[in-house]
Structure 1
Amino acid sequence: MRWTAEPSDIEKAQPIKASSKSTSIANKAPHKTVLVCFSHLRWRFVYQRPQHLMSRFATTYHVLFFEEAVFTDIDMPWLEKRLEDNLHVLVPHLPETYQGAIAVDAQRNLLDEYLAEIAASDIISWYYTPMSLPYSDHLRPRLTVYDCMDELSAFRGAPPSLVEQERRLIERADLIFTGGISLFEAKRQLHDNVHPFPSSVDIAHFGAARKPQPEPEDQASLPRPRLGFFGVIDERLDIALLEKAATQRPEWQFILIGPVVKIDPDTLPKLPNIHYLGPKSYAELPQYLASWDVALMPFALNEATRFISPTKTPEYLAGGRLVVSTPIADVIRTYGDSGVVKIAKTPEEFIRAIEESLKELPHHERVWQLADAALSDMSWDTTWKLMEEQMRCAV
C-alpha cells in the first residue's frame, strides 16, 4: 500500500522518539475523545483541507493524524511521532521488504500499540483515504466519518483496489462529507447521510494580499503583468494550454508555485516567461499573491478534475485577485456569476479572459466588493462547526 498522493521530505527522516511534551499530552487522551484521521496527504505537504479541519478539531478532540507508511531500508517497523498544531502526526516506517498482508499487519500493530499507549477508549475514525481501511477496520469507533475531498480513483497512480476499498468504507461510514457539490451528487446515490462541504478559506490570512507585502526575492525581479498559480502541479494542470498562452504572450510572466507531483518535470513547458518557483509555505502565499495581477486556474478537463472544487478559488478572491479558470463544474456553479471569476476553455479564450481581467486592474475596489460578496459567510471555522453539528446528529 504505497500509494501516496504526494512526495514528502519525511521519507528522509531519521527515527526519533516522542518528546516528553508529546508524551505528556498523549497521556491526556482518556479525558478526550480520540479522533484518528487516516490521510493520504502528508501533514507537511501543501496546507489544505485536512490541515485546516484537523487543527480545529484538535481544540475539541485528541487528534491523531495517521499518515500512509514510509518504506525505507530498516530492519523493524517503527512509528514516528510528532507534535504539530496541538495534534499528533503519526507516520509508520516499514522495511522495504514488507509487502501486502505483512505491511497491513505491521501498520495495524503500530496503530494498536499507540492507541493502547494513550489508553484510547472513545474513538472517532475519520478517513481521507479508503486505502487505510485494511489496517483500521478492526477498530470499533463510535463514529466513522469519510471526508471525500476528491475522487481519488481518478487520480494518476491510484491502486486498482481503491474502488473496492471505498465501497467498503462507504458501507461502514456513519457520515460522509464531500469536498464539492459534484462529488456530493455522485456519493449521495451510495449513502443516505452525505453532506456537501465545498472548500472554504481563511479570509484574514489571504486578505493580507490586498495590502502591500514584502516582495519575495525569487519574484521581485519579474516584470509585469504577473499571472500566478499556486497549488500542486500534477496531471490536473493543462500543460498545453499554459504553453500556448505563454508562447502567444511572451510579455506576460506566468508564475507557478507548488510541488511537481506524479508527472515528469521534464514534460513541463520551458519558456523564458514561465517561472516555476517551487513549493512555498502556507504563510508565504499572501506575499506572492499580493503582487500578481491575475490569478490562474489552468486545469485540464479530464477524469481527475471532473469532481474537484479548488480551494484556491476562494483563496485568490480573498486576496483581491480576479481569477481566470478553465470550465471546472464546481467553479462555474459556485463562482460563474460572481463577476470576479472568468471561465475560458481554449487557449484563445484563456488569453482573452486574462486581457479583460488586466483591464479591470484600476477598478480594484469594485473587484474587492464583488469578491467579498462571493465569499460571504465562508470560513473554515464555519465549515468545522457545521461538520461537528452533523457528527453529533450521526452518533
Structure 2
Amino acid sequence: MKKVHIIVATGKWEQDQLRYRRHRLAEFLQHQPDTEKVIWLCPTPKEEENSYTLLANGVNQWTVQDLLPQKVFRFGRYVDQFYEKKLQPFLLYLGQLQEQYTLQLWYTFPGFPLLADLFDWNKVIYDCSDLWTSPMNGKPSIPSAVRQRIIARAEGRIIQRADVIFCTSEYLRTKIAEKQGTAEKVFTFENGVEFDLFSNPPVHKENVLPAGFDGTVLGFIGGIKPKLDFALVQEAARKKREWLFLFVGPDGTNGHPAFKQLINEKNVLWTGSVAPSDVPKYMDIIDIGMMPYKSSQYNKAVFPLKLFEFLAAGKSVVGLHLPSTKKYAEESIYTYLDTDDSDQFIRACEQLEGFKDQEDYIRKRKILAKTKNWNEVFTEMVKLI
C-alpha cells in the first residue's frame, strides 16, 4: 500500500520564508515512490478562508486555527480542549484515506498531542530538533515556566506514544531517552545539507555590500532569534571596523533592543528576510560563517542547519556554545568556542581569515559537507521506521 505522511509542523509552509529540517523532510517523503501524498498539518494564528490548500510543490497543507491570534494564546496548541474539535474535519478526511493507504504521523514539534490517540495510525514518529521545554532566550520567568510545563506534558505524551524517535543531537537523544525510560527506539540524526545547492552557488547578489568594500565578511544566515549573542557580536564589530558583519534572515526577536543596537553599528548589515532560493547567493558573499549562540540550556541541544551549508559552500565556520558541533572542530574547517569573550571570538576569526581563499581547505570543507547530504540522512531514518 502507498503511504500518506502527516507532518505536524510549527506553522504554515512559507512562514517567515525559512526552510527548516521539517521542510526538507516533507519534500523528501513527497518524492518517494511509495508516497501517495504528504499533508502539512499546522497551527495558524488567524482564521483561514480555506483550511486545506495544495502547495506549489505538491504538498497538501491543512491549517488549524489557534485559540486567539495573539502570541500569548499559542499555548492552546498543546492543550487538548483548545484544538480537539478543530481537528474533527481533518480526522473525517483521514478516515476516507484509511482503507486505501498506510498512514504515518510525523511530529516535528510537540503540538496537538491528542492527535496520536484520535486515529489508528500505522506509525507515529517524533522528529525532535529542539529542546522545546527550555526557553530560547535562556532567561527563566514565571510565564515561560508555566508555558514550558504545558509543553513538557504534551511532549511527554508524544514520546510515550511514538513508535520511533529521531533527535538532531546526542544531548536531545539522552534527554528523551530519560523521559522514555529506554533508548531502544531513540536515534540521533543530525541536520544535513542540500549539498549540490550550496556547493555550486549561482552568482552572488549584487549591491549587497557597501560600495568599495573589499574586506572580510562574517555572516549569519537564518532566523534571527534570542538564542544568539548580539552583545558579543556588537563588541567584535566595534573592535574590528575593517570587517563587515552580515545578517541574513527575518527578525524573530520581536524587535529586541540588543538586536536593534547591533544593526546600528556602521559595519553591521542586516538584509531582512530573503527568498530561500537566494540563500546560496548570499552564502557566496560570506568569507567566514558565524554561529554566535549564547550559553544556555536550550543551545546545548541545538545542531544548527547552517554548519554544513557553510561548509558545502566552501566557507570556514566559527561556532559558540554549540556542544553538539564540537566533534567537527578542525583547523581551517570549523572552530568551536565555549566562551563569552569577544577577543577570543575575534582571534578565532582572524585565524580562519588566513585560510579563506586556499583551495585545499575549501575542498576539505566540501568533502565533509558532502557526507551529510539530506537524502542520505532521511533514507537512513526511513529504514529504521
TM-score of the two chains, using structure 1 as the length reference: 0.83
Offset of residue 235 of structure 1: 1.4
Note closer, same or farther for the CA distance 1:338–1:55 as it changes in structure 2 (3 Å cut).
farther
| 2:219 matches 1:228 | yes
- Please, which of 48, 73, 77 is the counterpart of residue 20 of structure 2? 48
Write out aligned runs for 1:134-145 (5 A).
134-145=114-125
- Please, which of 166, 169, 182 is the counterpart of residue 180 of structure 1? 169
1:128 and 1:361 mapped to 2: Cα distance?
36
1:82 and 1:332 mapped to 2: Cα distance?
41
Offset of residue 307 of structure 1: 0.5
- 1:74-102: CA deviation from partner (whole Å, max 9, x where unpaired): 8xx96142324221111123674997665
SS of the residue aligned with 2:324? helix
Q: What one-letter code is carried by the residue in structure 2 that aligns with 1:57?
A: L
Q: What corresponds to 1:328 in structure 2?
A: 322
Offset of residue 136 of structure 1: 4.7
Q: What corresponds to 2:208 in structure 1?
A: 218
Note closer, same or farther for the CA distance 1:254–1:222 as it changes in structure 2 (3 Å cut).
farther
SS of the residue aligned with 2:53? strand
SS of the residue aligned with 2:51? strand
- 197-206 or 262-271, which deviates more: 262-271
- Please, which of 72, 80, 87 is the counterpart of residue 108 of structure 1? 87
Is the contact between residue 248 and residue 274 of structure 2 (CA under 8 Å) also seen in structure 1? Answer: yes
Write out aligned runs for 1:200-219 (5 A).
200-209=192-201, 213-219=203-209
2:309 and 2:106 mapped to 1: Cα distance?
25
Offset of residue 135 of structure 1: 4.3
1:235 and 1:59 mapped to 2: Cα distance?
35
Offset of residue 293 of structure 1: 1.5
Write out aligned runs for 1:184-333 (5 A).
184-189=173-178, 190=180, 191=182, 192-209=184-201, 213-219=203-209, 221=211, 223=213, 224-268=215-259, 269=262, 270-333=264-327
Write out aligned runs for 1:22-33 (5 A).
32-33=2-3
Note closer, same or farther for the CA distance 1:93–1:104 as it changes in structure 2 (3 Å cut).
closer
**Unpaired stretches in structure 1, ≥5 consecutive residues:** 1-30
Is the contact between residue 295 and residue 322 of structure 1 (CA under 8 Å) also seen in structure 2? Answer: yes
1:125 and 1:338 mapped to 2: Cα distance?
42
Note closer, same or farther for the CA distance 1:372–1:101 as it changes in structure 2 (3 Å cut).
closer
2:20 and 2:127 mapped to 1: Cα distance?
13
Q: What one-letter code is carried by the residue in structure 2 that aligns with 1:371?
A: R
Q: What one-letter code is carried by the residue in structure 2 that aligns with 1:178?
A: C
1:372 and 1:281 mapped to 2: Cα distance?
24
1:135 and 1:262 mapped to 2: Cα distance?
31
| 2:31 matches 1:59 | yes
- Please, which of 342, 357, 368 is the counterpart of residue 352 of structure 2? 357
Is the contact between residue 219 and residue 288 of structure 1 (CA under 8 Å) also seen in structure 2? Answer: no
- Please, which of 343, 346, 361 is the counterpart of residue 348 of structure 1? 343
Q: What corresponds to 1:14 in structure 2?
A: none
Is the contact between residue 104 and residue 134 of structure 1 (CA under 8 Å) also seen in structure 2? Answer: no
**Unpaired stretches in structure 2, ≥5 consecutive residues:** 137-143
Structure 1 runs of 4+ aligned residues shifted over 6 Å read 97-100
| 2:122 matches 1:122 | no
Q: What one-letter code is carried by the residue in structure 1 that aligns with 2:89?
A: L
Offset of residue 134 of structure 1: 2.8
SS of the residue aligned with 2:203? coil
| 2:43 matches 1:68 | yes
| 2:9 matches 1:39 | yes
Offset of residue 59 of structure 1: 2.1
Q: What one-letter code is carried by the residue in structure 2 that aligns with 1:225?
A: T
TM-score of the two chains, using structure 2 as the length reference: 0.85
Is the contact between residue 338 and residue 371 of structure 1 (CA under 8 Å) also seen in structure 2? Answer: no
Offset of residue 378 of structure 1: 1.8
- 1:320-378: CA deviation from partner (whole Å, max 9, x where unpaired): 11111114111112x11364111232211111111111122342x12122213422422
The two structures, once aligned, show a CA RMSD in angstroms of 2.4
Offset of residue 205 of structure 1: 0.4
- 236-245 or 352-361, which deviates more: 352-361
